[in-house]
């Protein structure tokens, strides 16, 4: 049994990771800036703190006596959020900075940083259905403004803490993680959850159309949460230090293709109102998994259709339980 700290444990990935580590018999400390009542998953067996980890003293407090740290904490959301909150996203650099300092002070054994595919050079993402982005494609640097720059800078800080202080760090670039028990409304949700919500509400209320941000031709790859947790632990528990790995599905689809799949799952078809004035991000993005396959002989394997079936069902059930679909009727 080891003692783990999960920063951002009230979030989507952090909540699933807390559940897995607890199930495996570890002692788990959970921290998030959100009040406990807003955490996606919370477990009484864990020690749970509502703290702002941009503050160094809070980082010292939660990392004391800890063996391993997972830093999942940042201010983030879907494209609509990160394009309109660049300064807020960049302030997350204080979390990584002060956590690294505190972990070094408290003799933590190893540190994990959750980075993002938003670090990749935008000039390599101008077309739909592009080749997968290799880890080396983040340089020369031209990442997503705000959020992407914060992630890329924090990656380098982890690397230099390893080089200068011999402090082991692990870095993973997530590609669009989705699944049950996550955000599906409110402005921070990502495309799979947003579209599942829209189709569910349309079906429940017999609405004939939904709004789609962009022209629907933009492409991405989407990784199911179970693959995310498995890959995260696998990479962190290995002897790879200060290495960067893509962690994402290589199944690249357009937004229109994903809507087609959700329509099949829901048994309900809709017209699409394309909102060309809405944030839509880069034209195409996909994960190149050559490195993770070479090192670990593994890659995320859950097909998008399979993951969407579970995600749609969970979101549909949440909307029905609310008994007030107007709350979620943002189109």
Instruction: Tell me the per-residue pLDDT of 44-93, one tens digit each, with 9 for 90 and over.
Output: 999 999 999 999 999 999 999 999 999 999 988 888 889 999 999 999 99
Task: Please check the confidence at residue 329 and state whether its pLDDT lies above 90.
Answer: no
Check whether 23 has a pLDDT greater than 50. yes
The pLDDT, as a whole number, for residue 139 is 97
The DSSP bridge partners found for residue 4 are 28, 68
Q: How confident is the model at residue 322, as a pLDDT?
A: 81
Q: What is the pLDDT of residue 76?
A: 83
The predicted-structure confidence for 245-273, as pLDDT tens digits, reads as follows 999 999 999 999 999 999 999 999 999 99
What is the b/e burial string over 256-270, where b = at least 16 CB atoms within 10 angstroms of the residue's CB? bebbebbbebbebeb
The CA distance from 17 to 268, in Å, is 33
Hey, which CATH number is domain 179-221+251-285+303-328, 3.60.20.10, 3.90.25.10, 3.30.1550.10, 3.30.70.3420?
A: 3.90.25.10
* Residue 203 CB neighbours (<10 A): 18
Place of tokens 């079906």: 203
What average pLDDT does range 38-47 have in this prediction? 96
Q: Which residues are catalytic?
A: 147
Average pLDDT of the segment spanning 298-303: 98
Write the pLDDT tens digit of every residue in 93-117.
Answer: 999 999 999 999 999 999 999 999 9
Q: What is the DSSP code (8-state) at residue 284?
A: B
Domain boundaries, the chain: 3-177+225-247, 179-221+251-285+303-328
To 10 degrees, what angle do helices 255-266 and 304-322 make?
60
73 φ, ψ (degrees, to nearest 5) = -85, 125
Q: Which residues are paired to 287 by β-bridges?
A: 133
pLDDT at 330 exceeding the cut of 70 = no
This prediction has a pTM of 0.95
The mean predicted confidence, pLDDT, of the chain is: 95
Q: Which fold would CATH assign to domain 3-177+225-247?
A: Rossmann fold (3.40.50)
Provide the pLDDT for residue 324: 53
Question: What three-state secondary structure class fits 246?
Answer: strand
Q: Which whole number is the average pLDDT over 122-135?
A: 97
CB contact at 8 A, 72 and 11 = yes
């Amino acid at each position: 049994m080891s003692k783990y700290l999960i920063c951002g444990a009230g979030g989507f990935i952090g909540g699933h990771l807390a559940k897995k580590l607890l199930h495996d018999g570890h002692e788990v400390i959970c921290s998030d800036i959100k009040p406990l009542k807003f955490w996606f998953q919370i477990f009484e067996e864990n020690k749970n703190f509502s703290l702002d980890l941009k503050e160094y003293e809070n980082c010292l407090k939660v990392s004391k006596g800890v063996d391993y740290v997972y830093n999942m904490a940042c201010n983030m959301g879907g494209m609509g959020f990160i394009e309109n909150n660049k300064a807020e996203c960049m302030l997350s650099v204080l979390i990584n900075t002060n956590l690294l300092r505190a972990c070094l002070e408290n003799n933590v054994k190893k540190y994990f940083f959750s980075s993002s595919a938003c670090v990749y050079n935008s000039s390599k993402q101008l077309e739909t259905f592009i080749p997968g982005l290799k880890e080396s494609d983040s340089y020369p640097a031209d990442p997503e403004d705000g959020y992407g720059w914060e992630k890329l800078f924090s990656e380098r800080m982890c690397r230099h803490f390893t080089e200068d202080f011999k402090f082991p760090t692990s870095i993973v670039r997530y590609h669009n993680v989705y699944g049950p028990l996550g955000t599906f409304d409110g402005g921070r949700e990502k495309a799979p959850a947003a579209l599942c919500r829209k189709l569910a509400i349309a079906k429940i209320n017999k609405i004939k159309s939904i709004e789609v941000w962009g022209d629907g031709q933009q492409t991405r790859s989407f990784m199911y949460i179970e693959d995310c947790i498995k890959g995260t632990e696998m990479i962190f528990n290995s002897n790879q230090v200060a290495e960067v790995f893509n962690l994402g599905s290589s199944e690249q689809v357009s937004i229109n293709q994903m809507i087609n799949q959700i329509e099949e799952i829901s048994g309900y078809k809709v017209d699409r109102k394309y909102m060309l004035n809405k944030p839509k991000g880069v034209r195409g993005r996909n994960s190149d998994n050559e490195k993770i396959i070479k090192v670990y002989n593994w890659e995320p394997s859950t097909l998008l259709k399979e993951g969407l079936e579970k995600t749609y069902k969970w979101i549909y059930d949440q909307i029905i339980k609310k008994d007030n679909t107007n709350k979620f009727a943002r189109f």
